[in-house]
Chains A and B, each alone.
Chain A
């Protein structure tokens, strides 16, 4: 089972439901195990920002097969494409 480490921004003023965004991915990718940002050597890293400011620091977060920074629901398609390549 592939592990995806998720780091959220602080959520000071999110433009969309960030937690719901991650939860919906699990529906499309049931083989993925969602873990926290401190997961050891995750297969994939996902940074979920609540707005275009993308202010969260995530340099320390890496995934062995890639990393994606999402900042709106419109990023879902590109993210799903990246996750599908990992299969």
Chain B
């Protein structure tokens, strides 16, 4: 397995084409705006090296028998599914950010079982292609971006009906040794911090969408791939040179629009190629795993936000107020409810034909549906406890100013014994999580990541088994079933 430092060097040595604010970036490792996001992924390597986290962060590969990072693992049991959620909670606690490696892990598991079933029906080589690919990923301990979401254009039209055929990524040329693809993937979390990208279709498809039912993996610095980094709230605070105003100076997340401009994919890297009847299966399984993930990662970040809210209550001298105590209880209740859902859908997981374990789909969608709501309420309560100073406090430069600093120290002090700087630091952390750069991951990603709220409601409707519930009601009401 790689150490964190080896990981950073491996990213620095890549020739990834990254653009931000109209400029080409040499490497995420050396960009002050992107470096915090790299640090979040680095944490997944650093934690795996520590004995006190080894049991969650590492596991034995069923493919090779060697110790690997759990982010490269194919889940072999319900216990594996539970440990995945626990690992994600841990990583969320340690970074208070989106640590970006989950999408790849969820893609691995969805592709593993789907390719097995595709091969069974069509006698294709995808399962073996994928296993060989994954062995390489495990051996080298790579970070792989899971790329699903197409830009989609007119949401009312199928991929092959779009006026611009590139609004869904598709095959444009088929050769003897592979395919050439063109299109883009939106909202790509962690792509600048990844070694590889694994692509999946984004919706169920019909036979006429054959060229769009494509899944493959290539190195991120493959010719034809380039990324345009998305802006985040308060992103340029990272250029100011200070540490306090960022709120979280060490960790962060990133997302980008990734363009695939006539990219060649060799045959042995292809995991689906035209089998449209399995496109929806792959999407549903990936979405299920990723909705499970949010019951871990957002809970860990929520732990930090609850801690920050409790701290600021202490520093403000408001900790004994009964309404403050009750708000912290409510935040905890909401956060642990999300965790309960993550654990529940894992504990109820079952074995697929391929041998890996799949979460309970209904409970995974319930998990994510709750995640689209509760972080917003947790954030609201944190802001309530923090007070308005969270959004009106002077800058770090003013705190450090020879003339102004003493006034900032004097008038923004809370309780005795706590430096004003500490109060400002915690306020900035709460700001960061509720409306700053980390709000991208904690709020809006909670809403739309792994599928927008309506996507879960559709799955809940499908899985809800209303017919059986009607029979239950009839039995109790003594209504003849006929």
The verdict on B90 contacting chain A, using a C-beta distance below 8 Å, is yes
> In chain B, what residue has the closest Cβ to A14?
B52
CB <8 Å contact, B57 and A10? yes
CB <8 Å contact, A11 and B303? no
The verdict on A19 contacting chain B, using a C-beta distance below 8 Å, is yes
CB <8 Å contact, B86 and A12? yes
0 or 1 for each of B77-109: is its CB under 8 Å from A? (1 = yes): 000000100110110010000000000000000
> In chain A, what residue has the closest Cβ to B303?
A13
The verdict on B208 contacting chain A, using a C-beta distance below 8 Å, is no
Chain A residues with CB below 8 A from B218, complex form: none
> In chain A, what residue has the closest Cβ to B58?
A10
CB <8 Å contact, A10 and B83? yes
Q: How far is the CA of A56 from the CA of B55 in the complex (A)?
A: 7
CB <8 Å contact, A10 and B90? yes
> In chain A, what residue has the closest Cβ to B88?
A12
CB <8 Å contact, A6 and B86? no
Q: How far apart are A49's CB and chain B's nearest CB, in angstroms?
A: 10
Main secondary structure of the interface of B (DSSP, over half): helix
The verdict on A7 contacting chain B, using a C-beta distance below 8 Å, is yes
Q: Which of A8, A11, A56, A57 has most chain B Cβ within 10 Å?
A: A11
Which of B53-68 touch A at CB < 8 Å?
53-57
> In chain A, what residue has the closest Cβ to B70?
A10
Q: How far is the CA of A9 from the CA of B54 in the complex (A)?
A: 8
Residue in B55, B89, B93, B303 whose beta carbon sits within 8 Å of that of A9 in the complex: B55
Chain A residues with CB below 8 A from B90, complex form: 10-13
The verdict on A18 contacting chain B, using a C-beta distance below 8 Å, is yes
Number of residue pairs spanning A and B whose beta carbons lie under 8 angstroms apart = 40
Q: How far apart are A69's CB and chain B's nearest CB, in angstroms?
A: 14
The verdict on A73 contacting chain B, using a C-beta distance below 8 Å, is no
The verdict on A36 contacting chain B, using a C-beta distance below 8 Å, is yes
The verdict on B51 contacting chain A, using a C-beta distance below 8 Å, is yes
> In chain B, what residue has the closest Cβ to A17?
B52
With A19-B52, A36-B51 in contact, do A10 and B303 touch (Cβ < 8 Å)? no
Q: How far apart are A21's CB and chain B's nearest CB, in angstroms?
A: 10
CB <8 Å contact, B86 and A10? yes
- Count, chain A residues at interface, CB 8 A: 15
> In chain A, what residue has the closest Cβ to B57?
A10
CB <8 Å contact, B51 and A10? no
CB <8 Å contact, B54 and A8? yes
Q: How far is the CA of A48 from the CA of B53 in the complex (A)?
A: 11
Chain B residues with CB below 8 A from A7, complex form: 55
CB <8 Å contact, B51 and A12? no
0 or 1 for each of B294-306: is its CB under 8 Å from A? (1 = yes): 0000000001000
Chain B residues with CB below 8 A from A48, complex form: 52
Q: How far apart are A18's CB and chain B's nearest CB, in angstroms?
A: 6
Chain A residues with CB below 8 A from B51, complex form: 6, 8, 36-37
Which of A7-38 touch B at CB < 8 Å?
7-13, 18-19, 36-37
Q: How far apart are B38's CB and chain A's nearest CB, in angstroms?
A: 23
Q: How far is the CA of A8 from the CA of B54 in the complex (A)?
A: 8
Q: How far apart are B59's CB and chain A's nearest CB, in angstroms?
A: 10
Chain B residues with CB below 8 A from A9, complex form: 55-56
CB <8 Å contact, A8 and B303? no
Q: How far is the CA of A19 from the CA of B403 in the complex (A)?
A: 44
Chain B residues with CB below 8 A from A36, complex form: 51
0 or 1 for each of A67-80: is its CB under 8 Å from B? (1 = yes): 00000000000000
Q: How far apart are B94's CB and chain A's nearest CB, in angstroms?
A: 10
Chain A residues with CB below 8 A from B89, complex form: 12-13
Q: How far is the CA of A8 from the CA of B90 in the complex (A)?
A: 14
CB <8 Å contact, B303 and A18? no
Q: How far apart are A9's CB and chain B's nearest CB, in angstroms?
A: 6
Q: How far is the CA of A71 from the CA of B56 in the complex (A)?
A: 17
Q: How far apart are A7's CB and chain B's nearest CB, in angstroms?
A: 7
Chain B residues with CB below 8 A from A56, complex form: 55
Which of B33-61 touch A at CB < 8 Å?
51-57
Residue in B55, B87, B93 whose beta carbon sits within 8 Å of that of A8 in the complex: B55
Q: How far is the CA of A48 from the CA of B303 in the complex (A)?
A: 22
> In chain B, what residue has the closest Cβ to A10?
B56
Q: Which of A10, A18, A37 has most chain B Cβ within 10 Å?
A: A10
The 8 A-B pairs at the shortest CB distance, nearest first, are namely A10-B56, A12-B86, A10-B55, A8-B52, A12-B90, A11-B53, A12-B89, A19-B52
Can you name 27 A-B residue pairings with CB atoms under 8 Å?
A: A6-B51, A7-B55, A8-B52, A8-B54, A10-B53, A10-B56, A10-B57, A10-B86, A10-B87, A10-B90, A11-B53, A11-B55, A11-B56, A11-B90, A12-B56, A12-B87, A12-B89, A12-B90, A13-B86, A13-B89, A13-B90, A18-B52, A19-B52, A36-B51, A37-B51, A48-B52, A56-B55
Interface residues of chain A, those whose CB is within 8 Å of chain B, are: 6-13, 18-19, 36-37, 48, 56-57
Please give 20 more A-B residue pairs, beta carbons under 8 A apart, in addition to A10-B53, A10-B54.
A6-B51, A7-B55, A8-B51, A8-B52, A8-B55, A9-B56, A10-B83, A11-B52, A11-B56, A11-B90, A12-B56, A12-B87, A12-B90, A13-B86, A13-B93, A13-B303, A36-B51, A37-B51, A48-B52, A57-B55
